[in-house]
Each structure stands twice: as C-alpha cells, then as structure tokens.
Amino acid sequence: MASRQTSSTPRVVALLLLGVIALLFWLSGCASTPRHFSTAPILWTDDDRRPFPKNPGSTWSPLYWDGADHMLFRPVSHAFLLETPREAVNVNAFDEVPDSSWYSNRLSRHRMSTEEIARGACTRGSPEPDLPWTVVGAKMDGNNPGFRIRTASGVVYVVKFDSPDQWERASAADVVGSRLYYAAGLQVPCNRVVYFRPEALQMPDRPLKGPDGKPLDRAAVQGMVAALPRESDGTLRALASEFLPGKPIGPWEYSGTWGEDPNDVVPHEDRREIRGSRLLAAWIQHHDARAQNTLAMWSEDGGGRGHVEHYVIDWGDTLGGLTQWDSISRRVGYAYYIDFEYMAADFFTFGAIERPWERAHFGPAGKTLGYFDDAEFDAEHWHVGYPNPAFSAMQETDGAWMARIIARFDDAAIAAVVREGRLSSPVVRSELERILRGRRDKILQRYLLRLSSLTDVHMEDRVLCARDRAEETGLGPAPAPSARIWFSGTTAAGLRMERRPDGQLCTTVPALAPAQWILDLSTGRPGQEPLRVHLQDGPDPRVVGIERPDASAVAL
C-alpha cells in the first residue's frame, strides 16, 4: 500500500502543475483578450421599471449607525472576503450606461444648451408668483429649519433656510448641485432659490405638528425665521425644493440591493452611474454623500401596481459647508472624518508631516464658501466624509466615463448654473465660478487623458469617425491620430487617419470579407490608451461595440 502511494505521487504533482500552468495561461488570456460583441441591438434602456403589486414599504438609515457601519463594521467584516476590484455591471457594449430608474443619458450622449443645464429638473415656473402659499407640513429631517408649502396651483415644495453663519451658501449649493447632477444624468428634484414674506404664509384649518411633536402653527413658523436676515424689501431668502412625484419610501443604500424590489438586481456599488458620481461629489465637495441624502419613491403604474424610482437629494453641505468643528471643516475632502491611516501616520511621526488641510484658509469669498477651493484639490485622492462603498469601488473606466460627461460643462454652463443660485455678492459669484472651473479642469486632467477620450463613434459607409472629447473641452488636439486594424491576435495593419474640418477624426475601413473586425483608434497623446472599436462588416458595416482598454490589455 505504501509503494502504491509513493508511485502515484509524481503523477498527482504533475497533474497539479499542469492545472496551475493551464490556469495561468487562461488568466493571462483573459487579461488581454477583448470582449466579443454580438450583433444584437445595443441596450440603451434597462427594463427596471416593470410594475409589481406590492409597495416595498419604508426604509430608514440612522445617521450614527450608518457612519459607524461604514467606518468600522463594514471594513472589518469585508477584510476577510478577499475582494478584488471589478468592473461595473450595468455597462452596455458602447461603454455607456443605459437609461433606468436611476439614470438618464443627457450630457453623456448629446450636448445640452446652456439654458437646459441651468434649468435642471425644473419643468414649471418659479413658485414665487404662485401665491398664496399654504403651510401643509413640517420638514421631516435635516439640520436646517423648514416646512412644506402648497402653492396656489397645488404644487408642493419643501422650504428650508440657510444657516446665518453662511447665509446664502446652502441654498445656492442645493441649486448648483442639483443642476450639475441632473445634466450628468442622475435623478434629482427641482431646487430653486426663492424670496417671500413669512407673514403672508397661510396656515391650514387642521392642526399640524413638527417632527419634534410640537404644534406647527403661525407662531412656530414666525419663531423659526425670527433670527434669519431679511432683504431690504422685507423678504426672506429660502430654498424651495419641489416635492418628487410618487410616495416616499426612504433612502437607498450605496451598496447591496433591496430584496423588496424585484427590479433591483444590480448591487448598487456595481452601478457605474453611482460609482462615477464620486467625481461629481468631489467637484462640489459633497462630503456628505451618503444614504441619508438619497430618496427612493414609489411610482404608481395603475391597478395597484408600481415601481421604484431612485433620486439623489440635498447638496446643502457642498461648496464649502462648515461643520461644527473647524478641525473637521479643514479636513473635508482630504481625509475621512475619522481616518485611521492618517491617525496612525501622525502617531508614528509625532505629527511631523504637514497635511494640506493645515494650509486651508478662507478665500476672497470669506466664510460664505468656507475652505472650498481648487488650489490643492486632488481628484484621485478626494475623500467623502466616511467610506462610501460605491465610491471606493470606482474603477478607472468609471472615472473616465464621468470625466467625459464633466468635460461637456463648459465655462458658460458653469456661470449659468451659478447664476441660478442667486448669490447677492459679485465676489462670491466670481469665486464660485473660478473654483468650479479649476476643480473641473483637475478632474479632466486626471481622468480624461488616460483611457481614450474618443467618443461618438459611427460609420459613414466605409468611413469610421470619432470625436475627441479632450480636444472639445480645450485640452489640445490629438497630436498624432492613428488607426490600425487587427487581423488576428498578433497581426495588424496601420490605417491612415485624417482630421475633418468639423474636428472629427476619420479612417477608411478597407472592404474585406464579411466578418467582425477590431480597430484601434489612437490620439497619439503620450500615456493615453487607444479606443478599441468592434465592427460588423458586410453590405451595411456598423459599429457593434467599443472598449477602452488600459495599458495591461492594449495588445490582442
């Protein structure tokens, strides 16, 4: 028996070695082999609005538990899972995100006018002239006081006020944030800055209660606004956020799925639009991007059936919002509220390392914009207040996708969005525009120039054309555009690429036997990878898919 065991050992070892070698070959092939696309129609709509009969009910995510979970419990519990980085799940063959209850293609697929970007999600006029306003309920959460009103035409708004310490900032931030997120494709409410006379508010016949259980009557409303600054004409500034359609369910999480919703099948941290929103948050310093600032709405489809819509809400912390502690306010964007990595480094170096937040200071806008600036902004290493699973899962492909969208916010669009904030100080307006431009440019320098910035790929007969988003946004023309067509995994031929007067980069695809071909289009920028285009050749050649490979997967 011992002799049989001894004689079989070499065979077992040999088989194990062969298995390991085969696995290594398979893994190396997976790293360099491009995806092969079918000729099926490209998915531009995710069918996640299928009606189902049961309202999922309400959800809630307590603030302190959410913070403790993401700063402590989740990192510890996931440390033993050996998780590896993975690409977003909900991406179609064109490297884009389909429309869904979470996202709508806007700037991602076409340009929007400056007026469209400035209008955001608003589809009706300002509530200011829609008088009288009737108080119909309390504002249920958040740090700033407020209440709900119904205008003369029956539209319901949540009205909330700025902190006197940073008057005008939070309301302007809610307007700016909602416009930028909307144009980028996320679902948001219509937010507007309004001016009104509190004494002109009407109270309903039935008694109302605030979230603290106390009566919400005229005296309570007057007490709420008594210490707030008035304009010279006696009006009061506030933010009016239009009530979203449907029935509020509660916040959605930045990870996992909701088992009560049969349409919710993609883990939220694997959604590209949620991952990519990290760059939007970094742009405007949305350090409070967490579940409490999201909202799921039950939308009735008739017959007792419906589906869930997913919104991002509340940007009141952005554009330099100060916390209760100056030491935390200075660190916003550079580190987590409680950052063990920095704490350990400071402990072992006795605090000798100078941190960027130690150089933070108020700019020409003074306290209004707090420490919000672009001088030391680092898009790649920007931190939300505490770890956000979707932000932490963002890959280079997700950041590049959002950067291509942010590239379409030109200076005129930024200025128009800032005007919607109705800031009274020309200095604050000018500073806010400057900072937003500067932070946008740093995002683009980091995330637009590594993977291919070529977009809008299409065929015109046998001519394949694309546009360079980096050139469109002012980062300079492609210095040496080129193309090559692959005949096999090791054989390729160069193709001539020309620049058309309208800025398109085009190459003529040779007439070959009907098949699927792969072409690489390059800008010639140092360090920027090519765009890989999959073509279905034949009588009607067409693009059936594109990829943006990184440096480790450029070769076939």
pLDDT of residue 213 exceeding 80: no
Most confident of the ranges 151-165, 205-219, 539-553: 151-165
- Kindly indicate the confidence band of residue 336, based on its pLDDT and cuts at 50, 70 and 90: confident
* Helix, strand, or coil (residue 494): strand
Determine how many CB atoms are found less than 10 A away from the CB of residue 399.
23
What's the rounded Cα separation, in Å, for the pair 531 and 550?
A: 10
Lowest mean pLDDT among 24-33, 182-191, 278-287, 334-343: 24-33
Quickly tell me which residue has 């509340």 as its tokens. Answer: 314
pLDDT at 85: 87
pLDDT of residue 173 exceeding 70: yes
pLDDT at 25: 36
Residues with Cβ within 8 Å of 383's Cβ and at least 6 positions away in sequence, in order, are 287, 333, 334, 335, 336, 339
Nearest to 399 by CA among 443, 359, 352, 463: 443
pLDDT at 349: 85
Lowest mean pLDDT among 47-61, 71-85, 399-413, 414-428: 71-85
pLDDT in tens, 371-400: 999 999 999 999 999 899 999 999 999 999
- Kindly indicate the confidence band of residue 347, based on its pLDDT and cuts at 50, 70 and 90: confident
- Kindly indicate the confidence band of residue 14, based on its pLDDT and cuts at 50, 70 and 90: very low
pLDDT in tens, 495-545: 999 999 999 999 999 887 668 889 999 999 999 999 999 998 888 889 999
| Residues facing 492 on adjacent strands | 486
> Domain 120-244, what fold?
3.30.1010
Domain with CATH 3.30.1010 in the chain: 120-244
Bridge-based pairing state of the strands 482-486 and 236-242: unpaired
* Helix, strand, coil % over all residues of the chain, rounded to 5: 30, 20, 50
pLDDT at 73: 57
Whether the CB-CB separation of 155 and 127 falls below 8 Å is answered with yes
276 Cα distance to chain centroid = 4
CATH number for the region 63-110+249-447 comes to: 1.10.1070
Instruction: Give the predicted TM-score (pTM) of the model.
Output: 0.89
- Kindly indicate the confidence band of residue 22, based on its pLDDT and cuts at 50, 70 and 90: very low
pLDDT in tens, 32-64: 445 555 666 789 999 999 999 977 777 766 666
**Secondary-structure class of domain 454-553 per CATH:** mainly beta
pLDDT at 550: 86
CA angle 117, 299, 112 (to 5 degrees): 15
Helices (H), 305-373: 326-331, 340-349
Whether the CB-CB separation of 367 and 245 falls below 8 Å is answered with no
- Kindly indicate the confidence band of residue 72, based on its pLDDT and cuts at 50, 70 and 90: low
pLDDT at 9: 47
The pLDDT of 365-369, averaged and rounded, is 97
pLDDT at 3: 38
Domain with CATH 1.10.1070 in the chain: 63-110+249-447
pLDDT of residue 12 exceeding 70: no
Helices (H), 285-372: 326-331, 340-349
Domain with CATH 2.60.40 in the chain: 454-553
pLDDT at 39: 62
pLDDT in tens, 84-139: 789 999 999 999 999 999 999 999 999 999 999 999 999 999 999 999 999 999 87
Most confident of the ranges 287-296, 329-338, 424-433: 424-433
pLDDT at 64: 60
| DSSP E strand stretches across 72-190 | 134-138, 146-150, 156-160
Angle between helices 411-420 and 426-447 (to 10 degrees): 140
